[in-house]
Chains A and B, each alone.
Chain A
């Protein structure tokens, strides 16, 4: 196994308590096996096939496609998100199982990109979903996408990729932001009720 590289070994030596070692090991398994749900929202959808096929071969890093949100660890949002798409993306994200991560490709999810003055695309994805890694570019090439996966792996190993926990803790904030753009046509209550401890819905 070439996976346990020098960096990992150095980290392992610094750990003191047995529980820290267990946490470290669990995170190591999580980072070595990433099931990806590629949600082709924009032009970046075309960057995903070369990333996973022969040319760039993401599988050697343990990244492979997942068939359904239930099985997936990371959702890759490739490009701009129309309001209508965002609603579907949020439902998909809420169906995924913790720990779950979000990678956003391109400049559109960061600040609107070239669609900054469009009436129908959102400008900042991290207002509506907890984004772990954003890969800048218009569009990022597969190398950059792989680099984004590497950044996510580092984050997982450090135990900082806790977007799901953030979403759960700040659910009121996220749902308020989502309500700002969806208005009356908010997501149905049964898709997100379990996030509210008092069983209340939006």
Chain B
């Protein structure tokens, strides 16, 4: 019997409490679970279903519904399936135990998410600053971070030499209109 992703999802569903699942396309499935179930699902995927590697950990900021959605993408070299395990954590003071013990590369992904979203990963051995040096204040990838205001506060934008600056889209439209008019006249 050939292995399909539906069979896989069914097996996972038998063992864990899955709150939602969908097959996005051939070989790519997403399933939602609670934060308590996360480690169980990931260990099951790695040890039983032979998902060898963790491709990435994604983080999305759903500011309207007030949660972060963390997606752990596991990939199998035997069946070539990708499974996204999604959990929701609260936007403030959220902490998720690290999965570094399952896949070692997780610590770099978690380090980045910690820096950019401020999610804490207790147990991560390398949770220090990554891209940003000496960053204070709100993590920059949170959606309530006002990047324009930050730039105005911290950097000096060039003022001189921009007196004659025009709005590019307006100017472009003007030029196109002029060209059209010209072509119309030629046509007549």
Contacts and interface: CB of A to CB of B under 8 A. Distances in A.
Q: Classify A-B as touching or not with yes or no (CB < 8 A).
A: yes
Chain B facing A: main interface SS: loop
Pick the 10 closest A-B CB pairs, nearest first. A185-B134, A111-B158, A123-B155, A119-B140, A119-B150, A117-B148, A119-B147, A84-B133, A117-B151, A124-B158
Nearest to A122: B155
Contacts of B156: 123-124, 127
10 contacts: A84-B131, A87-B133, A110-B158, A111-B158, A116-B157, A119-B147, A119-B151, A119-B154, A124-B157, A180-B154
Chain A facing B: main interface SS: loop
Contacts of A183: 134
A111 B157 contact: yes
A11 B131 CA distance: 50
Interface of A: 82-84, 87, 110-112, 116-120, 122-124, 127, 180-185
Interface residues of B, number: 16
A111 B151 CA distance: 12
B24 to A, nearest CB: 31
A116 B154 contact: no
B151 A83 contact: no
B95 to A, nearest CB: 24
A31 B157 CA distance: 33
Nearest to B150: A119
B105 to A, nearest CB: 22
